[in-house]
Amino acid sequence: AIIYQHSDNLPDNTDYDFIVAGGGTAGLVVASRLAENPQWKILVIEAGPSDSDVFEIAVPGLVGSIPKAVNWNYTTVPQNHLGGRSLGYSRAMVLGGCSSHNGMIYTRGSRDDWNQWADITGDDGLRWSNMLPIMEKMEQFGRDVTFLDVSGHIDPSFHGSNGALSVTASYTNVSMNNYLLQATEELSDEFPFKLDMNDGQPIGIGWTQYTITSNGERSNAASAFLPRTGDNIHVLVNTRVTRVLPVGHGSDFRKVEFTVDANGPKKQLRAKKEVILAGGVISSPQILMNSGIGERAALEMIGIKTLVDNPSVGKNFSDQVATSMRFSTTLPTTNYDAIRALAQWNESHTGPMAQAAALNHLAWIRLPDNKLAGSSDPASGQSSPHIEFQFGKISPSITSQNETVLSVSVINLHTTSRGSISLSDSNPFTDPNIDLNLLAEEVDVSILREGVRSAQRLFSSTAFKAHINGMIAPAVNFTSDEDLNAYIRSSAGSYLHGVASLSMSPKNAHWGVVDPDFYVKGTSGLRVVDASVIPSVPSGHTQIPVYGFAERASVLIAETYRST
């Protein structure tokens, strides 16, 4: 790929076959796959700078220090069901998108997630049996595994070794890991040991897998996919796409409008074949609405002429919701000397900075039917957990001397509340209104409550008895449903895994924004490929489902133009 810092530098004589708006997780996969055809010329337009200009991105242990300058720094509208709190909503503004600043956790979701997406959309290509080989093929696991001893931490038979995206399993061991493994034996009904959480049935406690190279660097969409491409991809950074435009008076949206800043001149470029919108779950609906594709009444109110009336644009926004727990512990802290660790990373790409997290395990819990508060199952099927525990860190208390604190996030994976993305004016530089509408549905609160109680059982096990002194948050006397509900509503936040703001639906459905071939309904020449089209949250984190959808889209796009 060739990177251009300014549109003035783009070669005059290039007619691009495809223009990809947004050089993020999905956008760079699609661009790279299309570029495998050397006849096709592809332009990617990315709002942020190149990821290689930001040192912190490459170092897994600096994930918390990535500068705000490469973040969209969104804030949600006040959340009615969280006591009116507004939440930060992080999204990366840099080449590679959120794959450049995320927590690097590698999870594919469950077999039933993919089968449900196939059922909802009518695309059998999305079935687990079809997607597993694709996800394996894009993966590079296993290089140098003898150096990073991961035996017993992963099942290599579910992983590929020749793909672009590097994957490693946790290879260090801290005492907390041993107690967790003991607990999997003691409480095997609720917390069975799971050798590989990416085998389609992610229920139990297992070792975390990461998109990190065996050389201790983040593997993101830019570092994994772009180096394998030729000169037929041009990547224009620091440039914002403001709208997609029709060619002539029809609904053939093969033109993009872009600019460097709000007051700068706007330019337009037309793709010979297609425009692929890949701005992510917030920006893609924003760009569509600014382009006149959305709900007529809402667009008219802010003076945008409706070109395609579709009330589903920006609706159905879904995210996972997390609450936090803290336990007083005698376990050693996971803190380390960051300066020394960075020197070690600079020297050899090893040590604590070569890892994204210290505690090495994730727990995935499926609730029994009688714990679902009489609701129908919000998860996609029996292979899908309802709750995740992410074991954060063990660190000295900031409020009480001589106390050490274990932090744990409890996540409701399959929320039923739905939010929205909408516009308050027609300026493409105004942040959209982001309403997650978290905890609007009672069942979402009750699942988190069950999660809190489940974590209490885990840390009351014999395995942890000598190491956990008690619970700090929620307070130990918070035992009733009412107390826990109040704690959850005051502490809950988004897990930053938003999807479905431009949900895919079957062709001719009365809802949804894109067809199973990723084309925007009511248009031609325009597809959306990113998290916004995934119809529901997976039983896991979202980057790998996003990569999976992008791979599927790439196949469908290439098939459309097979003979050209």
Ligand X SMILES: Cc1cc2nc3c(=O)[nH]c(=O)nc-3n(C[C@H](O)[C@H](O)[C@H](O)COP(=O)(O)OP(=O)(O)OC[C@H]3O[C@@H](n4cnc5c(N)ncnc54)[C@H](O)[C@@H]3O)c2cc1C
Taking CB under 6 A as the criterion, the residue among 7, 16, 24, 43 binding ligand X is 24
Q: Which helix (H) or strand (E) holds 186?
A: helix 175-186
CA–CA distances in Å: residue 10 to residues 126, 230, 234, 245, 356? 37, 16, 8, 20, 37
Between 46 and 295, name the residue whose CB sits nearer to ligand X: 46
Per CB under 6 A, 546 contacts ligand X: yes
Q: Which amino acid is at 396?
A: P
Taking CB under 6 A as the criterion, the residue among 3, 57, 93, 365 binding ligand X is 93
Instruction: Give dist(CA 198, CA 144) in Å, integer.
Output: 20
- Residue among 74, 428, 77 at smallest CA distance from 286: 428
- Residue among 471, 501, 486, 476 at smallest CA distance from 279: 501
Q: Decide if 467 is catalytic.
A: no
Per CB under 6 A, 279 contacts ligand X: yes
Cα–Cα–Cα angle for 510, 514, 519, rounded to 5 degrees: 130
Q: Which of residues 183-242 bind ligand X (CB under 6 A)?
A: 240-241
Given the rule CB under 6 A, which of 154-162, 445-453, 504-512, 537-545 is the region that contacts ligand X?
537-545
The minimum distance between CB 317 and ligand X, in angstroms, equals 13
The minimum distance between CB 464 and ligand X, in angstroms, equals 25
The minimum distance between CB 373 and ligand X, in angstroms, equals 28
6, 81, 497, 510: which is the annotated catalytic residue? Answer: 497
**H helices then E strands: how many in the chain?**
13, 25
Between 22 and 474, name the residue whose CB sits nearer to ligand X: 22
Per CB under 6 A, 25 contacts ligand X: yes
Between 484 and 550, name the residue whose CB sits nearer to ligand X: 550
CA–CA distances in Å: residue 362 to residues 6, 68, 169, 253, 541? 43, 28, 12, 43, 11
- Would you list the DSSP string of 521-561? TT-BSEEE-SGGG-SS--SS-SHHHHHHHHHHHHHHHHHHT
Instruction: Give dist(CA 182, CA 169) in Å, integer.
Output: 20
- Residue among 548, 466, 546, 534 at smallest CA distance from 505: 534
x/- track of binding to ligand X for residues 150-189 (CB under 6 A): ----------------------------------------
Is the distance from CB of 223 to CB of 217 less than 8 angstroms?
Answer: yes
Is the distance from CB of 546 to CB of 531 less than 8 angstroms?
Answer: yes
Per CB under 6 A, 438 contacts ligand X: no
- Is there a binding annotation on residue 321? no
- Is there a binding annotation on residue 241? yes
The minimum distance between CB 458 and ligand X, in angstroms, equals 22
Between 45 and 331, name the residue whose CB sits nearer to ligand X: 45
- Residue among 23, 100, 106 at smallest CA distance from 67: 100
Given the rule CB under 6 A, which of 42-50, 110-118, 190-198, 435-443 is the region that contacts ligand X?
42-50
Is the distance from CB of 485 to CB of 444 less than 8 angstroms?
Answer: no
Q: Decide if 361 is catalytic.
A: no
Q: Which amino acid is at 63?
A: V
Between 96 and 474, name the residue whose CB sits nearer to ligand X: 96
Per CB under 6 A, 383 contacts ligand X: no
First to last CA, the chain: 22
- Is there a binding annotation on residue 547? no
Between 103 and 381, name the residue whose CB sits nearer to ligand X: 103
Check residue 452 and report its DSSP letter. H
Taking CB under 6 A as the criterion, the residue among 1, 19, 20, 21 binding ligand X is 21
Helix, strand, or coil (residue 362):
strand
The first and second tokens of residue 552, run together, are 């599927």
x/- track of binding to ligand X for residues 460-499 (CB under 6 A): ------------------------------------xx--
Nearest residue to ligand X on Cβ basis:
24
Instruction: Give dist(CA 514, CA 536) in Å, integer.
Output: 14
Taking CB under 6 A as the criterion, the residue among 148, 237, 531, 537 binding ligand X is 531
Is the distance from CB of 26 to CB of 165 less than 8 angstroms?
Answer: no
For residue 335, how many other CB atoms are within 10 A of its CB?
13
x/- track of binding to ligand X for residues 259-278 (CB under 6 A): -------------------x
Taking CB under 6 A as the criterion, the residue among 3, 30, 34, 45 binding ligand X is 45
Q: Which residues contact 58 (CB under 8 A, 6 or more apart)?
A: 52, 217, 218, 223
Per CB under 6 A, 283 contacts ligand X: yes
The minimum distance between CB 539 and ligand X, in angstroms, equals 12
Between 279 and 378, name the residue whose CB sits nearer to ligand X: 279
Taking CB under 6 A as the criterion, the residue among 17, 51, 58, 97 binding ligand X is 97
Between 53 and 185, name the residue whose CB sits nearer to ligand X: 53
Look at the block and give the residue holding tokens 């493409």. 428
Per CB under 6 A, 98 contacts ligand X: yes
Rg (CA), the chain: 23
Binding site, annotated residues for substrate: 495
Binding site, annotated residues: 94, 241, 495
Binding site, annotated residues for FAD: 94, 241
Which parts of this chain interact with ligand X (CB under 6 A)?
21-27, 45-48, 90-93, 97-99, 101-105, 107, 240-241, 278-281, 283, 287, 496-497, 530-531, 541-544, 546
Annotated catalytic sites, by residue? 497, 541
